[in-house]
Copies of this chain bind each other. A is one copy, B any other.
């Protein structure tokens, strides 16, 4: 059976070059980077080099990069760390309704802890406008955390303008760029961003490692306690091989972005067009301001998991919502925030394309989806009720 992977937003296969870079640190270079001896110095050097690569990829300096165990921890550190670092007594945090749970739930937790929180609504495309952010900022605001690009519907948010507003108002701006890095061009040096989260496994690097960019002079405090690693901001023996892999993956990710965008968006648009030819299918997310690999559609009258399951039987791997919530039964909080009816939100599929997809796969997938939809609609009580 064909195996077609179209879930690159959930995670990506690692590039062979990345594994090559990691292997020495899974074998003979095993020293603890905090150790002063030879074994430690050689891994310390690798750690420093990886930090330089990540910094270079973002257009910032190595001292501004803190390695974490992934995008989730980076978001937690950014949001809780800023909250802990504030000494002014201010306590208002702004985020959006379409954030990944790693940001949204962290903000909500701070809400339970007595912080004032504002969760901004989004438009029908899942986008927060800069004006909304501007209006929400008060003299108590310490942090705005709004993602760069949405992991479910692929919409790209106006992070630059939002950052500019935060800068003007003297408020920290954090952006969850987990889905953006390596997929859209990015130079932090030119952008008014104070903190940025990334996760290696979303751009052909290893799982279990990420980074938080913290602009110089941004006051952040650690949220986990232990040794003095990562400038005391993130204790624990460094996940060295993964960090080296992250460094290499970043180097590769930022190369040839325009070409990658061009290739992917061509596939994406072909898939979108084909899907929209099926009756009662709507595209979710912004039609243009959208990640080059993301296709998210609602297929009326049928439910997402059964769609996914039937496609899986045909060898096609897609997602109904984000991976980490697809085990749960609730319809996507992102689609609901965009105003979709819960029943329609539930009949949604995300195809996220990546490096190895081909036109043939797109065409095979389109046929498969058509078949699956037909089959499931034949079982659906709705189609008769509604049409």
Binding site for B on A (CB under 8 A): 3, 5, 7, 10-14, 19, 22, 26-28, 30-32, 34-40, 69-73, 75-76, 100-102, 105-106, 108-109, 199, 201, 206-209, 223-229, 235-242, 305, 308-309, 311-312, 315-320, 322-328
A25: nearest residue on chain B (CB-CB)?
Answer: B207
Question: A225 and B37 in contact (CB under 8 A), knowing A237-B11, A237-B324, A323-B237?
Answer: no
User: In the docked arrangement, what's the CA distance between A322 and B71, Å?
Assistant: 29
Docked-complex contact B226 and A323, CB < 8 angstroms: no
A11: which B residues are within 8 A, CB to CB? 30-32, 35, 237
Whether the Cβ atoms of B34 and A327 lie closer than 8 Å is yes
| Given contact pairs A40-B323, A326-B34, A207 touches B237 in the complex (Cβ within 8 A) | yes
A236 closest partner in B (C-beta):
B72
CB pair B76 A69 closer than 8 Å: no
| Complexed CA–CA distance, A201 and B209 (Å) | 16
Q: How far is the CA of A238 from the CA of B242 in the complex (A)?
A: 13
- How close is A373's CB to chain B, nearest CB, in angstroms? 17
Q: Which residue in B19, B37, B106 is a CB contact (below 8 Å) of A318?
A: B37
Closest partner residue, chain B, to A308 (CB atom): B36
| 13 residue pairs A–B, Cβ–Cβ below 8 Å | A7-B31, A10-B31, A11-B32, A35-B323, A36-B320, A37-B317, A40-B323, A69-B208, A76-B225, A101-B226, A199-B237, A201-B237, A208-B242
Q: Determine the distance from Cα of A193 to Cα of B89 in the docked complex, in whole angstroms.
A: 41
Can you add 11 more A-B contacts, CB < 8 Å, to A10-B34, A206-B239?
A5-B39, A10-B32, A11-B30, A37-B317, A38-B317, A102-B236, A207-B241, A208-B237, A208-B238, A208-B240, A208-B241
Tell me the complex Cα distance, A206–B239, Å: 8
- Report the bound CA distance from A257 to B37 in whole Å: 29
